[in-house]
Amino acid sequence: MDDGGYISTLDAVLGLAVVFILTASVLNTGTAPVDDTLEASDVLDAMASYPADKPLLEELAESPNSTLASGFLNGTLEGMNYNLTMDNGSGEVTVASRGSMGDAEDIGTAVACRGTVIFRLYVWR
């Protein structure tokens, strides 16, 4: 081939490469599904900061109150099951619970510490 043939061939290959790249980028820009449910860490963070004067986790660290914890979690985690436990060094104790974890498959977990007390929240559907 003469010099003109190589240039037109190179031009066509470069043009097709641009078309392939643009097509691939358009086809691969799918949106990720949005999960509108609360995560366990979101709920435990809320318990650690609400209310501002004395957060729920601080109250529970001083004296475990299942009514206080259940009231907050029932209102926050509508339609979801949960298990809130605390461990102050003498073993893990369930503070509040709704549902059985035995048959749950996808369990979200979060951990928070208040002094020497460790709180664990398990959340599932």
Number of domains present in the structure of the chain: 2
**Tokens of residue 73, six digits:** 């979690």
Residue-wise pLDDT for 17-63, tens only, equals 888 887 877 776 665 554 555 689 999 999 999 888 999 999 999 98
Residue 35 belongs to some domain of the structure: no
Residue 104 belongs to some domain of the structure: yes
Better pLDDT: 4 or 53? 53
CA-CA-CA-CA torsion sign (73, 77, 83, 89)? negative
Q: Based on the fold, state whether residues 61 and 93 are members of the same structural domain.
A: yes
Q: Based on the fold, state whether residues 15 and 51 are members of the same structural domain.
A: no
Residue 90 belongs to some domain of the structure: yes
Q: Based on the fold, state whether residues 54 and 102 are members of the same structural domain.
A: yes
Q: Based on the fold, state whether residues 2 and 21 are members of the same structural domain.
A: yes
Residue-wise pLDDT for 69-96, tens only, equals 999 999 999 889 999 999 998 999 999 9
pLDDT at 29: 66
DSSP-derived pairing of the beta strands 117-124 and 81-87: antiparallel
Residue 77 belongs to some domain of the structure: yes
**Tokens of residue 30, six digits:** 């799918």
Give the Å distances, CA to CA, from 84 to 45, 53, 108, 124: 13, 22, 12, 12
The DSSP code for 30 is P
pTM over 0.75: no
Range of the domain at 97: 40-124
